Structure 1
Amino acid sequence: MKKLVALLLTLGSLSAFAAQNDAVSHVSPLIGTHKSAIGYGGTMPFVTPPFGMTNWTPQTRQNKISIVSYNYDDPTISGFIGTHQPAIWMGDYGYVTVIPQVGALRTKPLDRRMAFSHSTETARPDYYGVTLDSGPGSNGQAGKIHAELTATERCSIFRFTFPKTGQARILIEASRPGIQGSASVNPATHEITGYNPHRMDAHLGPFALPNFKGYFVVQFQQASTAMQTYGLDDPKATTSRGAYAEFKPGQIILVRVGTSFLSIDQARENLRREIPAWNFDTVQQNLRSTWNQKLSRLQLSGASNADKSLLYTAIYHTLLYPRVFSEYGHYYSAFDDKIHAGSSYTAYSIWDTFRAENSMLTLLAPERVDGMITALLQNFKEGGWMPKWPNPSYTNIMIATHADSLVAEAIRKGFHGFDRNLAWQAVYKDAMTPPDGDTTRRWLDREEHTPYEARAGLTYYKQLGYIPTDKTDEAASSTLEDSYDDWCVAQIAKALGREQDYKFFLKRSLNDRNLFNPALGLMNGKTSDGKWAPIGGGRDDNNNRSASGWTEGDAWVYTWSPLHDQAGLLELMGGAEKYDAKLDQHFAGGHNVHNNEPSHHYGYLYDFGGEPWKTQAKVREIANKEYDATPGGLDGDDDCGQMSAWLLFTAMGFYPVNPASGDYMIGSPMLQHLALTLANGKTFRIEADNNSATNVYIQSATLNGKPLTIPVLTWEQIQSGGTLHFTMGPNPSKWASEYRPKLITTN
């Protein structure tokens, strides 16, 4: 009996341990898919491993730039798409769609829609399942298809359970009308193969890519009764747009899909490597295990189910991008339209993600950082520049060259697995070489068919110390962000022993100060004759952001944007008291728009002005207002992990205001106990005694038992492991109020 009791106790403990470590069960990929008072629904419930090359999601609408495949409000599903669309504002490329069907052949998206209910829907990182209503069957009864999918890095496997009556069919859409994709059938091998050359945002880049194709191989376990292509009935079509396989009713049909950007043969090879057997459950279990290994890096003690869902889903979102863009030793480059040996990544939304997402990856996925930097440097060799928003090639979306920040952060944090000399060449070119036609173009936002933009207006920046609003669009914002990138280039030069370059770029990094208008107490664009530009935001009659020079904001949004020079700004404003008072005006005036990245660090800025209690209250207020564990609970569209990275850092109690510095400003941890397992095997714990929704203020803090008297953590302190301990209370305290940032000097 004692042995039996001991065995039961052991099994119970193992069960509790397994439940605690099955973090996947708390992830809700539906968070961010619903339009709500918080956000507009721009994410998708992807089934994919971390950084997967191809993501799989149900398709409730035809995706394109500004429209994603899945929207929570939609009542129907028209298929399941293997997509590469990284964000709502970007387009897709090389996609393929799988559609189960009963009854008559329907190839058009509107005709093939099937009703579904969220009550039958299961969405996790490792699995998606739903019951689809395919309409009345031949006997007058509704035909229900149960669809399930799971995935690997480049492939997927579906399990479709068809009703007992009606013609069962699986349709493969290779491309859409007007796109010269292709599909072919091979009944002997139970395969449909093809490619899709569509790049939705091809009009944004500087050149065409005639060799670009998204290839696919679709394999069926069961023999079909018929296989056929479709789409050649269009008189303008020269290739089929898709194909289908038909099966006897009432079967469970397994479908494997391999994708590639190299060839059909490579798509087949990817399948052989990643899904060698017809075992749906094994693939799903492997994917679940992969996610659990990553998610369990953050341990939450005493957290509610809502908190667990919110934070583990945030980790899921941060680990989607940049996505893998290579296939077992080779990759297609969208920068020279050739195939190369090596590994690669794409989908860097760098203007968004350099702020916190990239910094989160150095904690959660440091094994990827060297490869991600190397990929940017390969892009530099193949296309002439590191990109700012590759999808998969240059798109010229957003401003500045914040790949400089990614390189600087990697060097600051001790990553050595990339060519540092090549990195210097890349960042030096960013900082010193104007783009083609720099003084003859305004560099409009998302201007079509332009050369690579790099640092638009750099010619003027070098001459005047700022970019004039009457010569270049978004000039004021670019001046401030270029100044930060100059600081990053300076840090890279210093690390590489290039002392003269360090001094040059450090001095130039203070160009942000040239735009401070003391009469306003705000940053202000300037015209080429040195006069102050109009202060407001918006566009002129030609849709240019020229009058005031701001990017997706105004003077309030951008005044504190020089991440490296808060000490200089504090001095320009007349001291800490006036700096904090101006921040008070910023928040009271409704200027802090959290769904856009320029505002993300603002809540933490009171740390610099000696009022850290305001930071503590403000960041908790923002987190409570802008996030919740519902489909509508994510502000904006996550911007490739940046929105979620902000939440994760804020939950832990610190944030990388200047990510390339290696410093983290302290806020107010959201839970009583968190533990971060580091790649070096150590654990960094955050404890917050008396923490609650009202006890948001830090009364005292220790790091490994020693008093912490400044609101700053360093990369080295985190990597050393240990315990950051806070005592919380309901009222502000003077903890860390004496801290002031160090002023940059160039002597």
Structure 2
Amino acid sequence: MFIRSLCLLVGSLFATFAFAAERDAVSYVNPLIGTQKSAIGYGGTMPFVTPPFGMTNWTPQTRQNKISITSYNYDDSTISGFIGTHQPAIWMGDYGYVTLMPQTGELRTSPEDRKLPFRHDKETSRPDYYGVFLDTPDGNKIHAEMTATERCAMLRFHFPKSGAARVLVEASRPGVSGYATVDMQDHEITGYNPHRMDAHLGPYKLPNFKGYFVVQFKQTPIAARTYGMDDGTAQSSRGAYAEFGAGETADVRVGTSFLSIDQARSNLEHEMPEWSFEAVKQRLQTAWNEKLSRMQVSGATDQEKTRLYTALYHALLYPRIFSEGGHYYSAFDDQVHAGESYTAYSIWDTFRAENSLLTLLAPERIDGMITALLQNYKEGGWMPKWPNPSYTNIMIGTHADSLVAEAVRKGFHGFDRELAWQAVYKDAMTPPDGDLTRRWLDREEHTPYEARGGLTYYKQLGFIPTDKTDEASSRTLEDSYDDWCVAQVAKAAGREEDYRFFLHRSLNDRHLYNPELGLMNGKTSDGRWAPIGGPRDTPGNRSVSGWTEGDAWAYTWAPLHDQAGLIQLMGGAEAYDAKLDHHFTGGHNVHPNEPSHHYGYLYDFGGQPWKTQAKVREIAAAEYGYDAGGLDGDDDCGQMSAWLLFTAMGFYPVNPASGEFMIGSPMYSNMTLKLSTGKILQIEAENNSPKNVYIQSATLNDKPLDRPVITWEEIQAGAKLHFVMGPQPSRWASDWRPNLISDK
């Protein structure tokens, strides 16, 4: 009996371990990470139910979202709806959204009146599913569930056995001329929402813009009506509702579109042909697992895997698809075109690492994403810097140049390279309208497209003067990097003269180095040094010192392409490293904001890679957590998450368009990436632990590696990186130095 019991116990344990080993990647994701303000920070994320790069994201709505406020906040205790949103980041607005809300009892249409309490212990959040129990005013509960496809959602509302049951569909908000209508015969509520929260930021009115929706019910409603008829016509209805019998389950599917109501219905027919919640959920789970499982990790706890796979989930949300059935609405000429499109490019943030991560994990999307930017160029005159979905003029530089240069460098050919050259050349050579009369204030309303604000002065003086253009110092440094990117596109196109011209101009960053300060420093139009600015430059003094969301410390190492030049300006590698020491010990590194993201890796350039190894581990531990408050700073369309993922693997794209990755300190004993080529990138870290952060030796494909760099080609070939880790710094790779750019 004892032997039999022992065998059963061993068998049970084996089954348990086998189950644990077979746990799918999506089960580790916690979409609530980043939704709560904590001691670490606030990520501004939302628990989206959506496929990778989904056009419409679905989330519970605990507050009315707007610019600077997201739909969901973990600290809230009530839910007022389930919204199909297109808001990509906390400081961007929504557009064309639609909201559904189940309720019992009397009709309540306003968010404040219709909200219902919930508890997090009665909430389930996954990329493929969201479920929650809502407390009704009479002490009962409504069980609400969601799953989704690229452009559609399926919701299921389980109503209590007493009281009227109702599903509210909010087309728009007060003051917005939305539209909703009811078709009882087809069990449908259809309509549109023309609201664009960022409309005040761009130059275009876009009268044709609408977010269309079709809501279908599986069960036959008892009744259905519109509400909010401000002037007695259907054209001003704010929404509609359908009523059901007590105790019923209402199965609902929602199609969204930016083309038409008919297209929203067509999206439903193609993406949700059957009334099966479980089938839709399973397909979504499979889609996420296919992507997430391309990354595998050993030597990480379940908690650490949750942090990693959640970061990968966040990174695979953007840019989002913006086309349907082979067509797309262009928010740049207000017309419908044939083709594929994407939007929600937070390029000032994402050009640094997020886009590089996509070249590794979603390379099948890159040609379409670059093509979308080039289509925007044809339709609006410029590649956008932050489409949402049109021009918003948010942030500085024309870093679409970097995305194009990176795609060219990495051998992507599925876009029009000649058109790409025309687009980056215009960015680099054509000043925006009114360049000499506008200061190009941050988020200045109703301006022409900003492109490179201050380019006129940049071409004349070699820098942008702080007394003429806002954020001038940051612009000079970032435009210099973009010039380097344009030079690379020219070189690939065989335009040698253009290559030399832009390579020379990419060294304009050196004009701002102030040797007395040992830092970059803005200049006025007469060539004098501008005031250096405070530790966190505010909008009020950007015109004085010239920085964007930072200061001289945050921007001195900003020329991603010219670290060798900076080493020379500072008087050598030792001085460069000493200044970096001061940067970190002085509290100048602000990881929640993107200009600091590459700083931990810069010791590689100065011959002290052991400091990079310690610093990136330190940043990862301090800035990223494991629960709802575990993200320090806005995720910014995946950039914060991409930093963590690269750092966990042990390398980072300091200059993303160079095709080179600087080596840090791999965080786990083994990580692998399954590449689209079928090859496997394997990163092994022997003796790895939280204390053993220092690389003692390294090999690449079993051959000694003595440089802190790995290239795109080495990765794509299926590299095997092997590190031996230890608790003390070593001199590994300390003799390597970057090449100085020569424009001769």
Aligned match of 1:139: none
Aligned match of 1:623: 620
User: Cα 1:327–1:542, aligned 2, differ >3 Å: closer, same or farther?
Assistant: closer
Structure 1 residue 217, shift from structure 2 partner: 0.1
2-structure distance, mates of 1:543, 1:509: 29
Structure 1 residue 57, shift from structure 2 partner: 0.1
1-structure distance, mates of 2:226, 2:313: 37
Counterpart mapping for 1:418-433 below 5 A: 418-433=415-430
Deviation track 1:521-556 (CA, whole Å, cap 9, x = no partner) reads 000000000000000148999936210000000000
Unaligned runs of 5+ in 1: 137-141
Aligned match of 1:126: 128
Question: 1:597 and 2:599 equivalent?
Answer: no
User: Cα 1:332–1:32, aligned 2, differ >3 Å: closer, same or farther?
Assistant: same
2:100 corresponds, among 98, 101, 110, to 98
2-structure distance, mates of 1:65, 1:284: 31
1-structure distance, mates of 2:517, 2:129: 54
Letter in 2 for 1:80: F
1-structure distance, mates of 2:535, 2:524: 16
Deviation track 1:98-129 (CA, whole Å, cap 9, x = no partner) reads 00001110000000010000001000000000
2-structure distance, mates of 1:365, 1:687: 23
2-structure distance, mates of 1:385, 1:602: 31
Other structure's SS at 1:135 match = coil
Contact 1:270 1:327 in 2 (8 A): yes
Question: 1:559 and 2:556 equivalent?
Answer: yes
Other structure's SS at 1:547 match = helix
2-structure distance, mates of 1:472, 1:343: 36
Deviation track 1:574-632 (CA, whole Å, cap 9, x = no partner) reads 00000000000000111100000000000000000000000000000000000011100
Structure 1 residue 722, shift from structure 2 partner: 3.2
2-structure distance, mates of 1:74, 1:404: 41
Aligned match of 2:56: 54
Aligned match of 1:734: 731
Other structure's SS at 1:111 match = helix
2-structure distance, mates of 1:540, 1:690: 43
User: Cα 1:143–1:10, aligned 2, differ >3 Å: closer, same or farther?
Assistant: closer
Aligned match of 1:203: 200
Aligned match of 2:182: 185
Counterpart mapping for 1:12-91 below 5 A: 16=18, 20=22, 22-91=24-93
Question: 1:520 and 2:517 equivalent?
Answer: yes
Deviation track 1:8-52 (CA, whole Å, cap 9, x = no partner) reads 999978993795351000000000001001122410000000000
Deviation track 1:342-379 (CA, whole Å, cap 9, x = no partner) reads 01000000000000000000001000000000000000
Other structure's SS at 1:204 match = coil
Other structure's SS at 1:543 match = helix
Structure 1 residue 233, shift from structure 2 partner: 4.9
Structure 1 residue 637, shift from structure 2 partner: 1.7
Contact 1:539 1:545 in 2 (8 A): no
Contact 1:180 1:237 in 2 (8 A): no
2-structure distance, mates of 1:717, 1:409: 16
Other structure's SS at 2:37 match = coil
Question: 1:251 and 2:244 equivalent?
Answer: no
Question: 1:465 and 2:453 equivalent?
Answer: no
TM-score (norm. length: structure 1): 0.97
Runs of 4+ in 1 over 3 A off after TM superposition: 8-21, 233-238, 537-544
- Alignment length (residue pairs): 736
Letter in 1 for 2:532: I
Aligned match of 2:544: 547
1-structure distance, mates of 2:532, 2:719: 48
Aligned match of 1:268: 265
TM-score (norm. length: structure 2): 0.97
Question: 1:488 and 2:488 equivalent?
Answer: no
Deviation track 1:375-420 (CA, whole Å, cap 9, x = no partner) reads 0000000000000000000000000000000000000000000000
Aligned match of 1:114: 116
Other structure's SS at 2:648 match = helix
2-structure distance, mates of 1:13, 1:281: 26
Question: 1:145 and 2:147 equivalent?
Answer: no
Letter in 2 for 1:63: N
Aligned match of 1:301: 298
User: Cα 1:541–1:698, aligned 2, differ >3 Å: closer, same or farther?
Assistant: closer
Aligned match of 1:646: 643
Structure 1 residue 236, shift from structure 2 partner: 10
Deviation track 1:439-464 (CA, whole Å, cap 9, x = no partner) reads 00000000000000000000000000
User: Cα 1:540–1:124, aligned 2, differ >3 Å: closer, same or farther?
Assistant: closer
1-structure distance, mates of 2:61, 2:98: 11
2-structure distance, mates of 1:725, 1:54: 41
Other structure's SS at 2:140 match = strand
Question: 1:176 and 2:178 equivalent?
Answer: no
Deviation track 1:463-484 (CA, whole Å, cap 9, x = no partner) reads 0000000000000000000000
Identity %: 77
Counterpart mapping for 1:325-336 below 5 A: 325-336=322-333
Structure 1 residue 302, shift from structure 2 partner: 2.9
2-structure distance, mates of 1:190, 1:445: 47
User: Cα 1:683–1:541, aligned 2, differ >3 Å: closer, same or farther?
Assistant: closer
CA RMSD in angstroms comes to 1.8
1:656 corresponds, among 648, 653, 667, to 653
Letter in 2 for 1:535: I
Structure 1 residue 506, shift from structure 2 partner: 0.1
Contact 1:628 1:634 in 2 (8 A): yes
Letter in 1 for 2:307: L
Question: 1:212 and 2:209 equivalent?
Answer: yes
Structure 1 residue 73, shift from structure 2 partner: 0.1
1-structure distance, mates of 2:599, 2:236: 53
1-structure distance, mates of 2:434, 2:300: 55
Other structure's SS at 2:375 match = helix
Contact 2:179 2:234 in 1 (8 A): no
Question: 1:456 and 2:453 equivalent?
Answer: yes
